[in-house]
């Protein structure tokens, strides 16, 4: 007997699942454990940076875009253009 498998038409992107499932506080606690000299605030900030960096890479891969080299990333940062605010 054979099985019929139905695949969803609109496949959810893994980047969305990753962002929903990852736990920043758990990663921050792990970083703090491994680096006791860091403050919890610094460990949590590092966790968020790692999470969003990974999310950005996943989005670029899913969209088939080239990942922007770090050297060219300044053009996307508002503070790199002598602006004092975001607006």
Domain ranges of the chain: 14-81
Q: Looking at residue 16, what is its pLDDT?
A: 86
pLDDT tens for 37-68 read 999 999 999 999 999 988 888 888 888 877 77
C-alpha 43, offset from chain centre: 16
pTM of the predicted protein model: 0.66
Q: Count of CB atoms within 10 A of residue 62's CB?
A: 13
pLDDT at residue 78, rounded to an integer:
56
Q: Which long-range contacts (CB under 8 A, 24 or more apart) does 44-50 make?
A: 48/24
Give yes or no for residue 7 having a pLDDT over 90: no
């Amino acid at each position: 007997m054979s099985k019929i498998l139905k695949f969803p038409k609109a496949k959810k992107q893994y980047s969305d699942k990753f962002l929903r499932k990852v736990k920043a506080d758990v990663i921050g606690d792990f970083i703090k454990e491994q680096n006791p000299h860091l403050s919890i605030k610094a460990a949590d900030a590092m966790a968020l940076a790692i999470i969003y960096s990974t999310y950005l890479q996943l989005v670029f891969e899913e969209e088939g875009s080239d990942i922007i080299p770090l050297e060219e990333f300044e053009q996307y940062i508002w503070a790199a253009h002598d602006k004092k605010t975001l607006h």
